[in-house]
């Protein structure tokens, strides 16, 4: 099954799970993440990341322009290309 089809079928699969079981599973996952320090890790970087995401940057402006003109797929392709090794 393709990744796209798997993502599309996920909400349907979750809808079949008993609500109480789903709630319990979510609680267990949250507790595990918290035990691993996930919340602390997220909070420790928010003071650095929030202003960065709120700022207008040259690359952000270009990303938005590509998204409007060519679509999100093209913008993501442009962004990913910046990280490829030559």
Alpha-carbon dihedral 55, 56, 61, 67, rounded to 10 degrees: 40
Question: Which pLDDT belongs to residue 4?
Answer: 65
Question: Which pLDDT belongs to residue 6?
Answer: 63
Other CB atoms within a 10 A radius of the CB of residue 52 amount to 10
Using one digit for the tens of pLDDT, what is the confidence trace for 34-75? 888 888 888 888 888 888 888 888 988 999 999 999 999 999
**Mean pLDDT throughout 70-85?**
91
Q: What distances in angstroms separate CA 83 from CA 25, 34, 48, 65, one per listed residue?
A: 36, 31, 22, 19
Q: Which of 74, 75, 80 is nearest to 63 (CA)?
A: 75
> Which residue ranges make up each domain of the chain?
1-47, 56-86
């Amino acid at each position: 099954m393709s990744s796209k089809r798997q993502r599309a079928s996920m909400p349907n699969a979750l809808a079949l799970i008993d609500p109480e079981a789903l709630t319990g599973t979510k609680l267990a996952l949250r507790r595990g993440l918290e035990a691993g320090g996930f919340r602390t890790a997220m909070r420790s970087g928010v003071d650095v990341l929030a202003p960065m995401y709120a700022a207008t940057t040259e690359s952000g402006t270009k990303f938005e322009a590509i998204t409007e003109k060519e679509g999100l797929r093209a913008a993501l392709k442009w962004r990913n290309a910046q990280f490829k090794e030559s």
